[in-house]
Chain A
Amino acid sequence: MIAALHDWFIAPFADFAFMRRALLGCLAISVGATPVGVFLMLRRMSLTGDAMAHAILPGAAVGFLISGLSVGAMTIGGLVAGMAVALLSGFVTRVTTLKEDASMAAFYLISLAAGVLIVSMRGSSVDLMHVLFGTVLALNNQALVLLCAIATITWVALAVLFRPLVLECADPQFLRSVSRLSAVTHFTFLALVVLNLVAGFQALGTLMSVGLMILPAAAARFWARGIGGMIALAMAIAAGSSAVGLLLSFHFALASGPAIILVAGAVYAVSVVLGREGGILARYLPGVHLQS
């Protein structure tokens, strides 16, 4: 029995370096991206995160065009494109009548089309699949260092900006009345979103990099009351989903990125039904009446 459990849970990681690298990469994403995902969700910007994930594609594609599948070039390209789309959509929102969701959608659609076009101009469909869906099982040292560095930067930035970020979410008018940090907080947060999407893109590709950011956060919302608990639980769900997803992909020869995201999706589905904080059962089963 113990041998069977060992073969199932431990051996894939103990015996294969690519599995250990994949797990380390996913854990770094879990630590860095999920707190950002919690704030994205609480600011009702989950779909903005998804749009931004698409927005990094043309930059990564230009990096690919110049240097092939180079971590550095694709990362820098992705960062530049992501920040450009975030700032441009904000600019269009401010100077025209278009709302932020519409301008963001317009820019991400243009970005996605441009990115796919650029990759297909030079690369094969395999390269395109790599950019769109990532290669978590092929993370090299450079990519792992990048993922860990981004997780560290994210935690330092969140530690510094935690209080204004909470106020910017809960009571933005009050923050503006007591401090000039509102704009700084907003743009730093957007930069963190782009940074973590670029990190996720290395492992999960542009189409699913937002998965480990949002799904664990959405699931944690159904269990935790405070923001600290929510962040801790979201990180645990992301880390657990990564390990289980990698094991499923190993044993059943499944695509690893989608396996990880689907496990996180399963945790989310269970949380929607069973979650004690506003889940379906908690909401609709009759509660205990107050006794006089």
Chain B
Amino acid sequence: MPVIALKNLTLGYDRHPAVHHLDMSIARGSLTAVVGPNGAGKSTLLKGITGSLRPLSGSVNLQDHRVAYLPQQAEIDRSFPISVRDLVAMGLWAEIGPFRAVSRAQAQRIETALAAVGLTGFERRSIAALSGGQMQRVLFARLLLQEAEVILLDEPFTAIDARTAVDLLQIVKRWHGDGRTVLAVLHDLDLVRAHFPETLVIAREKIAHGQTGEVLTAETLFKARQMCEAFDDRAAVCAA
């Protein structure tokens, strides 16, 4: 049973496609790595699934609308004066929305989420004072609070230390064990082979999708690189 179905999906910016004609589905409860060269459209695909980027054509069908999204750290303004606790509390958005206060029970859940990522005692710190690894732990704590069925991670293990990567990978595996659907953009192919049962290779279009062992071959990776290098933003719009 697919939880995400993409139908002839084209996504892009300023009317230029970044990734086009995607036809595929993601099975409920799957743990999928999204792999491809830089500029392949991986992050764009995640933004399209969350709904923050409107499709140029085609559609995204979500069977479960409880979607949690981890953006790349570069997209977060780390200089903004907000405390760890307040940023993590935003994971409760579906419950508190823009107006409601955080209840005592919800405050306890924030503490529990911070403890789960090893950041007890960091509640009052400003996010500007955190290391890259600590910041990623904060964002995972926010994901934990969202309790979503579909979890989209954009480069969750990039530029963090090995210990943090191992800790956060355990959380990802726990989500998978709970039957949640996880889609993660990754660059470390060894990590993908070791821990992610399914892989989607994209390079402006779908190159391959399936079992990691079958999909992550030298041939598909070469094809992905070729596709990215050959892609011309000024090319005429192709037929649907």
Residues of A within 8 A of B (CB): 42, 97, 160-161, 163-164, 166-167, 169-174, 176-179, 181-182, 224-227, 230
Contacts and interface: CB of A to CB of B under 8 A. Distances in A.
A178 B94 contact: yes
A170 B52 contact: no
Interface in B31-55: 47, 50-52
Given A163-B99, A178-B94, A225-B81, A170 B50 contact: no
Contact of A173 (B47, B90, B93): B47
A181 B76 CA distance: 18
A160 B69 CA distance: 25
A171 B99 contact: no
Contact of A225 (B14, B51, B94, B126): B126
A157 to B, nearest CB: 12
Given A173-B71, A176-B51, A179-B97, 16 more contacts: A163-B90, A163-B98, A166-B82, A170-B82, A170-B87, A172-B75, A173-B52, A174-B69, A174-B142, A177-B67, A178-B94, A181-B98, A225-B126, A226-B83, A227-B81, A227-B82
B75 A170 contact: no
Given A161-B98, A163-B98, A179-B98, A174 B90 contact: yes
> Which of the four size classes fits the interface of chain B?
20 to 34
B219 interface: no
A170 B99 contact: no
Contact of B80 (A164, A169, A177, A224): A169
A35 B83 CA distance: 19
A171 B75 contact: yes
Contacts of B14: 97
Contacts of A167: 90
Contacts of B232: none
A230 B81 contact: yes
B178 interface: no
Contacts of A227: 81-82
B19 to A, nearest CB: 17
B77 interface: yes
Listed residue (A97, A173, A176, A182) with the most chain B CB atoms within 10 angstroms of its CB: A173
A178 B68 CA distance: 8
Contact of A170 (B80, B94, B97, B98): B80
Nearest to B100: A163
Contacts of A173: 47, 52, 69, 71, 75
18 contacts: A42-B81, A160-B98, A163-B99, A166-B82, A167-B90, A170-B77, A171-B75, A173-B71, A174-B71, A174-B76, A174-B142, A176-B51, A176-B52, A177-B51, A178-B90, A178-B93, A179-B98, A227-B82
